[in-house]
Chain A
Amino acid sequence: METERIRIIVAKPGLDGHDRGAKVVAAALRDAGMEVIYTGLRQTPEMIVEAALQEDADVIALSILSGAHMTHFPRVLELMREKGMEDILLTGGGIIPEADMAELEALGTGRLFGPGTDTTDIVAYIQQWHASRSDAS
């Protein structure tokens, strides 16, 4: 039986131009069989959530290396709640100190990944999340 392809938005919110990580992760997710939509740079939280709705995405992954993660993650989460997107996973990574990661995860994001992460760990995490969501529904 063919499994449903996971659809994922990879986005760069705010002014941060460091796109190496986002592109490497996007390529790894694509090679793992996911449908990847890369938004490009300088997306507002509104644009990202809108793109996720339009594209019927299962997952939103944000890449932030500028230090603005405590602004952008909560805002995206808030918009997702407003739009009733509770079954969508918000994950991501970048230069995010551990204490901030814990705080964001407590707010309701999925796992966040720091520098040096193996992309296979990210792939495995998203696949597991997707499998458990499918089981639940």
Chain B
Amino acid sequence: MSAQDDGKIQAERDAWAEKAAAQSEWKDHWFTTSSEPIEPLYTPLDLDDHDYHRDLGFPGSYPFTRGVYTNLYRGRLWTMRMFAGFGTAEDTNARFHYLLERGQTGLSTAFDLPTLYGYDSDHEFSTGEVGRCGVAVSSLEDMEILFDRIDLGSVSTSMTINSPAAVLLAFYVAAAERQGVGPEKLSGTTQNDILKEYIAQKEFIFPPEPSMRLITDTVEYCTRHMPRWHPISISGYHIREAGSTAAQELAFTLADGFAYVEAALERGLAVDEFAPRLSFFFNAHNDFFEEIAKYRAARRIYARRMREKYGARNERSLLMRFHTQTAGCSLTAQQPENNIVRVAIQALAGVLGGTQSLHTNSMDETLALPSDKAVKIALRTQQIIAHESGVTNSIDPLAGSYLLESLTDRMETEAEAYFDRIDELGGVIPAIEKGFFQQEIARAAYRYQREIEQRQRTIVGVNDFVDPGEKIEIPILEITDEMQDRQIARLRALRARRDDNAAGRALEEIDRVCREGENVMPALIEAAKAWCTLGEIVDVMREVFGTYTEPAMF
């Protein structure tokens, strides 16, 4: 743009602003979902110091703002991956088959809380929680039933498991081996992101240091033996669900990602050896443009840091590949059918942001785990976006929008400011121990709630457009105590029939490798095959590593 053009646009913009200011607006405060101010109009003036080659480039080329793949969705659509898990392994296996038969292209497993905390289904802390929030998996036997009649050599499986991720990965590797599929053929992801557990989701077991060691063990093992597996999915999703802003989600997630990179470098792995297998996971909230800007900024920041700070040379090390899930926290219990529309808008943001895979929430998720019908509508939402809306025809179609590019730049600036603050606190783990992330998120969550209650923010059906005397008329999935009883009976039968001596030896070996600092994965796989249970294995680790309690703050 020439200086002369600039001057003309500036003059016209000023004239426009004067006219606009003279007109009334129907509300006083204009801000994004993240409570950030937003202008009524963006023009070329907002992109004055933009450089196309430096800041955007081409899809599949540095800095990857426009996407990690050259032809993006023209080459292959995103993976439609619905997160599923409830009851026993049989119940969830049936849901997996239901989804695969309806065109889903990857599996995603939700485990129940006892499994996430490394307790067997018959532990006293598991009472009332078995199969409620996900599927109960206490042993290799459960894992085999979960994937019954599913070829682990051809399906890609994501497992949302963190503190005991190494153990569940071992169960999966052992289950595949019994199907005749070697680890080198397995494709999928373990979430395995402990830092965001301390920050947001709170499903931690061990203190940060041994947790980081376990993660680095899995990264190392996968680098050597599972070339198609993503050992970590560095997750902003839960940070956002806990109430963060979009910029906090972006910054904290990337900071976590760089902490894992540094841990693997300290282990002696070369950046280009492991970085191509790192993956990310973001939220898709309501604010359409703010979300798209977040994804684009994420790719750009990541590529720049990986190249400039960590010296990555392999282009695949620079690619931020990510999964997206629509925002559970945005769904309303009131008029739940409206959630179908929210999910469609959020999913569209994920697609326009260039996601590699997508989970769309079901309309009934503020009430219970999703019913078959609700899940089907959520999956169909993705198929309609993919095949009917036309948005997949062209790559990164919103690039060049004055608004979107301005928001993308602002996201990057805000993230950089957070990186500086985290550095000042001594890094991610010291910042966790000081409660920095937790306080920032709690403050943002409270502000958001106040904005709703003070009617500065409208939530349809909640604080406006309310249906008084509304009756909920959608079917609710019920989890029964019978499922818990069945699971516990199977687990006890397994313990009764296995060779206890072999199991005991396998547990002693885990104790040894944990203490001596050897990679835990081979011993875990052996323990899985000796029918050691999750709780038994994690108990050994709890004994060696200790447990973590967070300071209670609000």
Contact = CB atoms under 8 A, between A and B. Distances in A.
B332 A116 contact: yes
A23 B479 contact: no
B446 A116 contact: no
B129 A66 contact: yes
Contacts of A41: 202, 550, 552
A19 interface: yes
Per CB-CB distance, the 7 closest pairs between chain A and chain B, nearest first, are: A71-B128, A40-B552, A17-B202, A67-B132, A15-B113, A68-B128, A23-B554
Interface string B434-446: 0000000010011
Nearest to B116: A15
Given A66-B113, A98-B472, A20 B367 contact: no
Contacts of B368: 67, 95, 97
A126 to B, nearest CB: 16
Given A24-B449, A66-B133, A71 B127 contact: yes
B499 interface: no
A115 interface: yes
Contacts of B242: 19-20
A36 B368 CA distance: 29
Interface string B455-491: 0000101110000000010001001000000000000
B145 to A, nearest CB: 22
Given A19-B242, A67-B132, A115-B332, 16 more contacts: A15-B203, A17-B203, A18-B202, A20-B242, A20-B243, A27-B446, A40-B550, A67-B479, A68-B113, A71-B129, A115-B331, A115-B333, A115-B366, A116-B333, A118-B453, A120-B453
B9 to A, nearest CB: 44
A26 B462 CA distance: 21
Contacts of A67: 129, 132-133, 368-369, 479
A14 interface: yes
Interface of B: 113-114, 116-117, 119, 125-129, 132-133, 197, 201-203, 241-243, 329, 331-334, 366-369, 442, 445-446, 449, 452-453, 459, 461-463, 472, 476, 479, 549-554
A3 B361 CA distance: 46
B149 to A, nearest CB: 28
24 contacts: A15-B116, A15-B203, A16-B133, A17-B197, A18-B202, A20-B445, A23-B442, A23-B554, A24-B243, A27-B442, A27-B554, A30-B554, A38-B554, A66-B129, A67-B133, A71-B127, A97-B368, A97-B476, A98-B472, A116-B333, A116-B461, A118-B452, A119-B449, A119-B453
B455 to A, nearest CB: 10
B449 A28 contact: yes
Contact residues on A (Cβ < 8 Å of other chain), bracket:
35 or more
Contact of A116 (B128, B203, B334, B552): B334
A70 interface: yes
Interface in A1-16: 10, 14-16
From A16, A23, A68, A120, residue with most partner B Cβ within 10 Å: A23
Contacts of A15: 113-114, 116-117, 119, 125-126, 129, 203
Contact of B241 (A20, A22, A95, A119): A20
Contacts of A19: 202, 242
Contacts of A30: 554
Interface string A65-99: 01110111000000000000000000000010110
A95 B367 contact: yes
B244 to A, nearest CB: 10
B33 to A, nearest CB: 15
Interface of A: 10, 14-20, 22-24, 26-28, 30, 36, 38-41, 66-68, 70-72, 95, 97-98, 114-116, 118-120
Contacts of A97: 367-368, 476
A23 B113 contact: no
A49 B554 CA distance: 20
Contacts of B241: 20
B267 to A, nearest CB: 28
B201 A116 contact: no
Contacts of B203: 15, 17
Contact of B129 (A14, A20, A26, A36): A14
B333 to A, nearest CB: 4
A38 B366 contact: no
A38 B445 contact: no
A27 B133 CA distance: 27
B261 to A, nearest CB: 26
Given A15-B125, A68-B132, A114-B333, A24 B446 contact: yes
Contacts of B202: 17-19, 41
A20 B238 CA distance: 11
Contacts of B461: 116
A10 B554 CA distance: 10
A17 B129 CA distance: 13
A38 B117 CA distance: 22
A27 B441 CA distance: 13
Nearest to A39: B552
A59 B116 CA distance: 31
Interface centre among A36, A114, A116 (most CB of B within 10 A): A116
A17 B549 CA distance: 12
A70 B128 contact: yes
Contacts of B479: 67
Nearest to A19: B202
A32 B375 CA distance: 40
Contacts of B550: 40-41
Contacts of A14: 113, 125, 128-129
A118 B113 CA distance: 28
B534 to A, nearest CB: 14
A41 B133 CA distance: 17
A17 B201 contact: yes
Nearest to A121: B453
B168 to A, nearest CB: 16
Nearest to A14: B129
A22 B554 contact: yes
Contacts of B332: 115-116
B332 to A, nearest CB: 5
